[in-house]
A and B are shown apart, each in its own frame.
Chain A
Amino acid sequence: MTETSALAVVDPAPPRLGAVSQLARRMQAGWRSIVIFIPYVWLFVFFLLPFFIVAKISVAELKMASPPYTDLIKWAEDGIMTIRITFENFTYIFEDDLYSKTYINSLKISSISTILCLLIGYPIAYGIIRSGPVARRLLLFAIILPFWTSFLLRVYAWMGLLADRGTINNVLIWLGLIDEPIRMLYSEFAVYIGIVYTYLPFMILPLYANMEKLDATLNEVAADLGSRPMNTFFKVTLPLTMPGIIAGSLLVFIPATGEYVIPDLLGGGNVLMIGRLLFNEFNQNVDWPTASAVAIVLLFLLVLPMTIYQYYQGKAMEDQ
């Protein structure tokens, strides 16, 4: 305000025009802040803030009430504030065998699934790149298509295939290869299949995007300099597709670690995974403090891969 009047004094230009353009200028600056402000506040309130609340609950105690946890800060009658923080939930998680086993098993399953996705997805992505222009588009389309159908129903499809009286067992018995059905559903094997099946496009798409930028003449250069195709693959193609490999692997690894639906539907009670444990702790046992602590530890485990992913995402944006 003072600035405006000061300017008006100094500037002998027609005052009305000056005021209008001043207003216009201020509005120009205003809409920019609004554009930033709205999504910023939304994300702050509905994404960042909740984590602090979870962190708060994770250091509270379980209480038979609604909500089922104690307050951290208490105001006594005489205005004395007491803060109660407990790390019991965390010590409980680390001491209880069940939790540590579940964390390790989750990481194991998601790591192996990521490697499987990479081993299957890499040649598929490379095959798409090596196809003709029409085939390339159709194949890419075929990879993306399942993404638009329901995730849940794709997992369900495997229940029908893997069940004791499911399609695979029926076919194997019909072929005379086995007499008794093999138990496949409700096992780790089924969880692996489910994760690879549903997360494969997340591996293929970043790989494809990366390979598309690859200069095909580099393969020719290598061959010209005496390198055989296999050697060229390991010395040239593989290192140059590393960004795609990292992005794809993280896109599979991070969500797979916290996966709930697949271990629940395909693993039943037999496969320990942290997402399922957390869900049950929260919804069935109504132990919010423990569930929050479990979530905080899981988040802590995934912070590094998430940061790496963010770094690559940012770099890819800048490269464009």
Chain B
Amino acid sequence: MTGEQTLSDTPWLEQGAEPFIKIRGVTKKFGEFTAVDNIDLDIYQGELFCLLGGSGCGKSTLLRMLSGFETPTSGSITIDGMDMSNVPPYERPTNMMFQSYALFPHMTVEKNVAFGLKQDKIPVAEINDRVHDILTLVELQDYKKRKPQQLSGGQKQRVALARALVKQPKLLLLDEPLAALDKKLREQTQFELMNIQEKVGITFVVVTHDQEEAMTLSTRIAVMNDGEFMQLGTPTEIYEFPESRFVADFIGSANMLEGRIVEDGPDHVRVKTDLGEVFIDHGQSVKEGSRVWIAIRPEKMHLSKEPPLKPGPNQAFGMVDDIGYLGDISIYKIRLENNQIIDVTAPNQIRPKSRTHTITWEEKVYLHWQASSAVLLTK
């Protein structure tokens, strides 16, 4: 053990910090199909790292290579300084929480949790203590004698977590840990999972297709597509500064405008689009005249029935095509002059007297946004 180390909140920014997991040039091919394509990744002690992507993007294959169920076609994986190339799953310092939990149906909760400890020939008394402690942690101490069939979805999920945690692995791998739960329970469990991770201090790597889950849980996220990383960063970085149209579209929703660079200053960029000029207040070295895309999040646009005081950049107008009432917010579909539909969300801060919105169908509305709101994308 490395002992009591004061862990920084952002170890990946520290100069000379030693990564806990080193993935170097890892590729996995199944026949002709390349599931994971030459990936490099460092994960640090105590992180809650998310691999996010759609089905078939290679996130699960990467996780299975960490747990030892798949061997990389090329490249190397090092965990805590140990090369994992020839280590079978049953000798790795990792444990995995499987999608749909895969609890042993013929064992009680207690036996399920104790299974891993028994493999290590730990004395019975210690096994009992540790099983009790971990079941207390996940609040299942009263369900010891139950069989998996007698548990609810949320309880099964916690047994699976306890079973993987009880061995105190150096690294816990979670494959879609919350996918089988319903929405309400999922949101609640996200926070439980974070609390538990904080308490046990184990490094977590989570695979998920749910961007909300990834945003809530993780210290950092890797967005994957076609076996490659599209972007790697903190949830804020990924949401606020997507580097590509794929990421901007995959994480949350974004209005995408196509345009050409008119001016590329050191601290600003001007882009000409169908809707007029867009001014962005952060610099980006792009060649003038090149084709780019602008992404603006729906909640960063403002709607108004009044025309702006003076014409300028970052403005547009259109007709309300449709309104979706979601309770906390409403989504307005605005049809622009060029027939493009722009999504704008607005919080419903005042309870409407009747069911009508202040802005209603077929009304002419004006849009504007801050110079800092738009993101320039080149790929």
Complex contact flag A–B (Cβ < 8 Å): yes
Q: Type the 1/0 row for B55-82, where 1 means its CB is closer than 8 Å to any CB of A.
A: 0000000000001110000000000000
**Judging by beta carbons under 8 Å apart, are B95 and A224 in contact?**
yes
A205 CB to closest chain B CB, in angstroms? Answer: 22
Residues of chain B from 76 to 93 with CB closer than 8 A to chain A in the complex: 88-92
User: Is A173 part of the binding interface, using a Cβ–Cβ cutoff of 8 Å?
Assistant: no
**Judging by beta carbons under 8 Å apart, are B102 and A225 in contact?**
no
A-side contacts of B67, CB under 8 Å: 224
Please, how many angstroms separate the alpha-carbon atoms of A227 and B112 in the complex? 13
Residues of chain B from 315 to 357 with CB closer than 8 A to chain A in the complex: none
Please, how many angstroms separate the alpha-carbon atoms of A225 and B68 in the complex? 12
How many residues of chain B have a CB within 8 Å of chain A? 24
B183 CB to closest chain A CB, in angstroms? Answer: 25
**Judging by beta carbons under 8 Å apart, are A223 and B98 in contact?**
no
With A220-B69, A231-B119 already in contact, the answer to whether A225 and B95 are too (CB < 8 A) is yes
Partner of A221, one of B68, B102, B106: B102
**Judging by beta carbons under 8 Å apart, are B104 and A236 in contact?**
yes
**Judging by beta carbons under 8 Å apart, are B104 and A224 in contact?**
no
Partner of A215, one of B92, B95, B102, B115: B102
A262 CB to closest chain B CB, in angstroms? Answer: 36
**Which residue on chain B has the smallest CB distance to residue A225?**
B116
**Which residue on chain A has the smallest CB distance to residue B120?**
A226
B317 CB to closest chain A CB, in angstroms? Answer: 55
| 20 A-B contact pairs sorted by A residue (CB < 8 Å) | A217-B102, A220-B69, A220-B89, A220-B98, A220-B102, A221-B96, A221-B98, A222-B115, A223-B69, A223-B89, A224-B68, A224-B89, A224-B95, A225-B90, A225-B119, A226-B90, A226-B120, A227-B115, A228-B119, A239-B106
How many residues of chain A have a CB within 8 Å of chain B? 17
Partner of B167, one of A225, A236, A239: A225
A-side contacts of B88, CB under 8 Å: 223
With A217-B98, A231-B119 already in contact, the answer to whether A224 and B90 are too (CB < 8 A) is yes
User: Is B163 part of the binding interface, using a Cβ–Cβ cutoff of 8 Å?
Assistant: yes
Residues in chain B within 8 A of chain A (CB atoms): 67-69, 88-92, 94-96, 98, 100, 102, 104-106, 115-116, 119-120, 163-164, 167
A-side contacts of B96, CB under 8 Å: 220-221, 224
With A217-B98, A220-B98 already in contact, the answer to whether A240 and B105 are too (CB < 8 A) is yes
B-side contacts of A239, CB under 8 Å: 106
Partner of A226, one of B91, B100, B102: B91
Please, how many angstroms separate the alpha-carbon atoms of A267 and B345 in the complex? 87
**Which residue on chain A has the smallest CB distance to residue B69?**
A220
Residues of chain A from 12 to 70 with CB closer than 8 A to chain B in the complex: none
A211 CB to closest chain B CB, in angstroms? Answer: 14
B16 CB to closest chain A CB, in angstroms? Answer: 33
